[in-house]
Amino acid sequence: MSADGVREDVVRFECGGAGLWGILARPDGPEARVGVVIVVGGPQYRVGSHRQFVLLARALARHGYATLRFDHTGLGDSEGDPRRFEDLGPDIQAAIDALAQACPHTRAYVVWGLCDAASAAFMHATGDARVAGIVAANPWARSEASLAETHVRHYYGARLVQGEFWAKLASGAFDWRASWRSLRRNAAAAASNRWRRETTPTDFRRAMATGFARFRGRVLMILSGNDLTAKEFLQVAASARSPRWTLDDPKVTRLDLPEADHTFSHAPWREAVEARTIAWLDELQASLSGEPAMAHR
C-alpha cells in the first residue's frame, strides 16, 4: 500500500519457530541509512494506543526512515506463547534482522520503545553492534516499594490542587478513610527504603542499568510530566548507588513534556514526540556519516 509518500508492506519473520507479523513503512523516495524498529510494550499490539505507532511509523517513513512495527511473540497476529518484556531479546533481534533483510540499504538501527518496551531495549538491544540508538519513552522501572515512594512524592500532593478532589470532598463522595489507609501504606513502604535494596543481579532494573552503561550509541529519553511511570523511573535513576543511570551523560538527549500523559494521547504531544524523534534521527545519521545534520524535510 502506498499513500502520502509512504509505502507499507506486511512482513512475516521467524523467532524461535514462531511466525511474527509486522508492518514495514518506508519512504517512496530514498531511504536513510538508519532504520527504526518499534517495539511494543505491555498488552499492546503493533497499532498502539490511539494508533500512536501507526502514526509514528508513517511520520518517520515520510522523512526517509524505514520503520518496522511488529507484534512480538504471542501478541496480536504473531504466533507462540506471550512473553514478558524481560524475555523479548530474541524478538528484538529477529525484528532487526527482518528490517535489515527488507531494507539492505540500512546500515544502523534504532530501537524505539514505550514503557516496558523501552526497558526491554536497554536490556536486550545494547549488546547488538548494529544498534546505534535507543528511543526510550517513559521507561518502566516498577517495584512495589518504588511505586509507593512515587505515590507519596507525586500523587497525594497533586490531588490537593485538582478540582475533582474538592468537588468529591464537598459532595461527601470522597472516602477519606480509604485514602488515609492508602497514604499510610505507601508512606510506610517508602520509609522502609526497601526498594534500594531490592536490586539484585537478576533484577530487571539492574539489567536495564547495565545495558545503558555499556551502550556506546545515543539515547533519546522522552519523559511525560503527567505520568507516574516516568516519575518512578526518574526516582529510581536518581537514587541508584552506581552512576550508571547518569542522565546528563553526553550520549543522552532528553525531551520533557510537562503536561503529557503516558501514551502522548493528545495530538500536540504526539506531534512533539514525532518531531523530536525525527530531528534526533537526523543528528544520529549525520554523526554516523560525518555529514552535517539534515535540514527538516
Give the rounded distance of the alpha carbon of 22 from its chain centre.
18
How far is Cα of residue 111 from the mean position of the Cα atoms in its chain?
9
CA 279 distance to own-chain centroid: 17
Please count the residues of the chain: 297
pLDDT of residue 291: 57
Percent of the chain with pLDDT over 70: 75
Reduced to 3 states, what is the DSSP secondary structure of residue 4?
Answer: coil
Domain with CATH 3.40.50.1820 in the chain: 2-143+200-289
Question: CA–CA distance from 111 to each of 41, 140, 175 (Å)?
Answer: 12, 16, 44
Burial of 30 (0-12, 13-18, 19+ CB in 10 A): exposed
What pLDDT, in 10s, does the model give residues 283-292? 999 999 875 5
Structure confidence by residue, pLDDT tens digits, 30-82: 999 999 999 998 788 999 999 999 999 999 999 999 999 999 999 999 999 99
Give the span between the Cα atoms of 257 and 268, in whole angstroms.
10
Q: 36-50, pLDDT tens digit by residue?
A: 999 998 788 999 999
In the CATH scheme, what is the homologous superfamily, with its name and number, of domain 2-143+200-289? Alpha/Beta hydrolase fold, catalytic domain (3.40.50.1820)
Residue 200 banded pLDDT, cuts 50, 70, 90? very low
Contact of 58 with 119, CB cutoff 8 Å: no
Checking if the pLDDT of 115 tops 50, the result is: yes
**Does 150 or 183 have the greater pLDDT score?**
150
Contacts of 131 (CB under 8 A, 6+ apart): 96, 108, 109, 110, 111, 125, 217
Could you read off the pLDDT of 217-260 as tens digits, one per residue?
A: 999 999 999 999 999 999 888 875 555 788 999 999 999 999 99
* Overall pTM surpassing 0.75 (yes/no): yes
